[in-house]
Structure 1
Amino acid sequence: MTERVDAAERMLDLVIALSHTRHRMTKADIRAKVKGYGSSSSNDAFERMFERDKEHLRDLGIPIVTLTDAVHEDEIGYRIDTAAYSLPPIDLSPAQMGVLSLASEVWQDSAFASSARRGLTKLRAVAGGTTTAAPGVALRVRGPDPAMGELLQAIAERTPVRFTYRAAYSGETTVRTVEPWRVHARDRGWYLVGHDRDRDAQRSFRTSRILGKVERAGQPGTVSIPDQRPATPERVFHTSVRLAIRPESAAALRARGTVVSSIETPVGVRDVLTLDVSDVGYLADEVAAYGQSVLVLDPPELRDAVLTRLRAVAVLGGTA
């Protein structure tokens, strides 16, 4: 069985091939030589795949030009106009490279870690300098959720998707069929924006509330993405949280919340901190990392989530 090549890899190989061809590549050349096209089940399937990829690359600003041969004028070929595609010289200051180095650390625990490292290495190669982020400084931003890779590929292929989703306001779990348009970051989370076929309207979905695997629900090329950027989520649902924090600890939590009082606990005096969060699961990961320095007062679902994580760590450590 021929190994499946995802759309992003296939289009990258196409860009490389069309950039390095001496004159042009015909469709027959592309199907025979570019990884991912040879597995097409028929000429029509190849034509659809190639036309879709070609238009997507042009939408990204990659100048694919059409050429004919002086002898075989009816045989069309393609190549990338490298002169129009070349970037101007990149001149980044040490401070700018430091910011980019720091930003790349956002992705260090995600599926995009290797891509971030490669991109930063290439920038350093053309811009000069070896500036890195300050020692001990790291952005504490959670990377994309597991569903992100499938969603981005579905957007690139313009393919509808189906997934199980847990609503923020009710906790109800439903299966949704969506034509994906874009993803964006907001309120410490990632959102998918698209057309919900079940509601026949634009909807936004926080990717951390997608349960299980994202599945394809149609054929590639069947999703029409609006030219104008869709509106961001109209509502972001928040949960009120109360934490008991050891004095002079958990600075990141204190920066986002408000200390309203102090209480006496079996382990000493604690500051009572209140804050609103849009995803209890994300906060549970953070609170669990503080161990005994942070106790959850409310809500019960956050307390249970933190205890679940701490018990899992105890089992891994052989202490439970």
Structure 2
Amino acid sequence: MKSERVPAAERLLDLVIALSHTRHRMTKSDIRRQVNGYADAVSDESFDRMFERDKDQLRGLGIPIVTLTDSAHEDDVGYRIDMTEYSLPPVNFTPAEVGVLSLAAQVWQDSSFATQSQRGLTKLRAVSDLSDPAEHTGLALRVRGPDAAFGDLLDAITDRIAVQFTYRAANTGATGERTVEPWRLVARDRGWYLIGFDRLRQAQRSYRLSRIIGTVHRVGTPGQVQIPQTIEPQPVPTTEVVLALTPERASALRARSEPANHLGAPADRDVVRLEVTEVGRLAEEIAGYGEHVLVLEPAELRSAVLRRLRAAQSWGEI
């Protein structure tokens, strides 16, 4: 029974391992005999083509394969990887850089790369001077999955059918029924919005999915909704937020803010400002940073953060 051919990627990896661990060099005959995958070559010419192709591919990836000849037999050619050129320099990161890497790793938390990203982050922390886990408080990105209504609304847009749902208004907090012809789902300020035609108001409206209460119901039959070719973006009310940050902390907030000035800010803090559409969600994020983020403006956000911190403290006292 004929054995299965070794995948090219596996053969390349085995070749890198062999050439990086050889004491001096490996000749072509050594490579053909010892490296997994080259036994698949049916002739000397086939092996030569395979090896030359692999060698060129590895060099193209930046792997320094050097050619060596024997001093007594110049036609006896060998190969190895120059480890002085291939080795990476010592890894050193500042607290802010480790924070950014933490954010990147958390982005993959719900994907097939979750294990690998967390393992890599653990290794980076191990070779840095940041051994105290508290150093990273609040640096992990809080990535929310799609809101509960996302799937139903996306299906409704695909089927071109109207929907009905209960909605909590941002400005008053009042709830009411909305009947909407859904047009598009867009991401803004770390949240999802539905853009569509409100049948009661007879106008285009935007709805933040996190304010939809309960189940989204279909109204009518598929194919009735006509989606415009061009949809004018609708302005979303925002709130200006001013924060005082501990130096080199709260990387996620820094990334989407800009420097600012504030008379009441502590001298040892960095002051930043940003525009947000959902104060409540920002309060959840800020509370995770603990003492490293102070809310200077607005007062409603400061109160929301304090409520969450006091609730967390009370849980710790139980």
Structure 1 counterpart of 2:249: 249
Give me the TM-score of the superposition, normalised by structure 2: 0.51
Cα distance, 1:254 vs structure 2: 2.6
Q: Classify 1:171/1:187 alpha carbon distance in 2 versus 1 (closer, same or farther; 3 Å).
A: same
**How many angstroms does 1:240 deviate by?**
1.2
**Does the 8 A contact of 2:187 with 2:193 survive in 1?**
yes
- The 1:308/1:273 distance shift into structure 2, 3 A limit, reads same
Whether contact under 8 Å (2:161, 2:222) holds in the other structure is: yes
2:298 corresponds in structure 1 to 299
Q: How does 1:44-59 map to 2 (within 5 A)?
A: none
Provide the rounded CA distance (Å) in 2 between the counterparts of 1:269 and 1:167: 39
Residue in 1 aligned with 2:317?
A: 319
CA distance in 2, matches of 1:284, 1:252: 14
Alpha-carbon separation, structure 1, partners of 2:105 and 2:199: 36
Contact preservation (8 Å) 1:165, 1:173: yes
Question: C-alpha displacement at 1:291, in angstroms?
Answer: 0.7
Asked if residue 228 in structure 1 is aligned to residue 213 in structure 2, the reply is no
> Structure 2 residue aligned with 1:209, among 208, 211, 216?
211
Tell me the amino acid that sits aligned with residue 167 of structure 1.
Answer: A
CA distance 1:181–1:104, shift in 2 (3 Å): farther
In the TM superposition, what is the alpha-carbon distance from 1:157 to its structure 2 partner?
A: 4.2
Q: Describe the superposition over 1:218-274 as per-residue Cα deviations: whole angstroms up to 9, x where unpaired.
A: 244164242625333x21211011223223322332331323147576xx8434332
How far apart in 2 are the matches of 1:218 and 1:291? Answer: 46
AA aligned opposite 1:235 = P
Q: Which runs of 5+ in 2 are unaligned?
A: 1-60, 62-102, 125-139
- Greater relative contact order, per chain length (Cα 8 Å cut-off, separation 6+): 2
The question of whether the paired residues in 2 share the 8 Å contact of 1:259 and 1:273 is answered with yes
Work out whether residues 263 and 272 of structure 1, in 8 Å CA contact, stay in contact via their aligned partners in 2.
Answer: no
State the AA in 1 paired with 2:260. V
1:133–1:224 distance in 2 versus 1, CA, 3 Å: farther
| One of 191, 194, 200 as aligned partner of 1:192 | 194
Q: Report the equivalent of 1:51.
A: none
Partners of 2:243 and 2:141 lie apart in 1 by 23
Q: Determine if contact 1:169/1:237 at 8 Å carries over to the other structure.
A: no
- For the 8 Å contact 1:160–1:178, the answer to whether it is kept is yes
Distance in 1, matches of 2:292 and 2:152, equals 37
Q: How many residues align?
A: 200
What is the distance in 2 between the residues matched to 1:155 and 1:104? 32
**Does the alignment pair 1:153 with 2:155?**
yes
CA distance in 2, matches of 1:162, 1:107: 33
- Is contact 2:105-2:118 (8 Å) kept? no
Counterpart amino acid of 1:221?
A: P
Q: Distance in 2 between matches of 1:227 and 1:264?
A: 48
* Distance in 2 between residues matched to 1:293 and 1:104, nearest whole Å: 21
User: Cα distance 1:314–1:153, how it changes in 2: closer, same or farther (>3 A)?
Assistant: farther
Contact 2:180–2:198 at 8 Å: present in 1 too? Answer: yes
Q: Is the 8 A contact 2:244 2:265 kept in 1?
A: no
Partners of 1:168 and 1:237 within 8 A in 2: no
Q: Which runs of 5+ in 1 are unaligned?
A: 1-93, 95-101, 122-130
TM-score by length of 1: 0.51
3-state SS, counterpart of residue 260 of structure 2: strand
Identity %: 49
Q: Which residue identity is paired with 1:183?
A: L
**What's the offset of the Cα at 1:179?**
1.8
